[in-house]
Amino acid sequence: MDENTKEFIVKDSVKIEGVTEHYIWYNAELLKQAIKNWMLDFEKVVSVMEQRHKEHLKMLQEVMDENRALKKKLNEQQ
C-alpha cells in the first residue's frame, strides 16, 4: 500500500464497542426499577399533599364555624 492508502484507512477507522444482550437486559432492568421507585415516591408525595389539603379544609371550616358562633354571641350581647 502506498502512503495515501494508509492515511485513508486510519482516517476511516472506527472503534466499535460491542453491546451484548445481557448488557441491554441488565440496564433495562435497572431503569425499570428506578422508574418503579420514582413512581412510589411520587405517589407518596401526592398522597401526603391530598391529606394536608383535607386537613387545611377542615381547619378552615372550624375557623369559619367558630367565627360564626362568635358573631352570633356578639349580636346576642348587644
Q: What is the pTM of this model?
A: 0.57
Residue 43, amino acid: E
pLDDT band, very low/low/confident/very high, at 78 (cuts 50, 70, 90): confident
Q: How far is CA 30 from the centre of its chain?
A: 17
Q: What's the mean pLDDT in 20-29?
A: 89
Percent above pLDDT 70 for the chain: 77
